[in-house]
Structure formats: structure tokens, C-alpha cells
Amino acid sequence: MLTAETAAIDVSGVPLITAPGGQPVTLGSFGGVQILVLLRHRH
């Protein structure tokens, strides 16, 4: 069973792009508690 790891990884400056808008954004723009769901590949 997968267990959670505690961490302290600053991702605030990671450059991402809105979908479908295509606008640049950083994760630091989103304050408070955020759940990140990172997808694996699409076919």
C-alpha cells in the first residue's frame, strides 16, 4: 500500500501553463491548501 511521505519541497516557482488557455502561471500563485494530482501519460 502506498503511504504518504512528509516533505518540504518549494514548488512555488515551477512554471506551468493553463489548459486550455495556454497562459503561463506558477504554483506560487495558488495559496492555501491545494491538492495536486499529477497525471501519468495519455495514450
Partner 1 sequence: MHHAAAQVTSGASPRPGLILVGFSPPGPLAAIARHLDWPGLVLTDPRRVLYRRLGIGRAPLRRVYSPGTLATYATAVARGERPARPVEDTRQLGADAIMIDGVVRLLWRPRTPNDRPTASEVITAARAWPA
Helix (H, G, I), strand (E, B) or coil at 25: strand
**Single-letter residue type at 16:** L
Dihedral (CA of 18, 24, 30, 33) sign: positive
Residues found in the chain: 43
x/- mask, partner 1, residues 1-40, rule CB under 8 A, reads: -xxxxxxxxxxx-xxxxxxxxx--x-xx-xxxxxxxxxxx
CB of 26 to partner 1, least distance (A): 8
CB of 13 to partner 1, least distance (A): 8
Q: Which residues bind partner 1 (CB under 8 A)?
A: 2-12, 14-22, 25, 27-28, 30-43
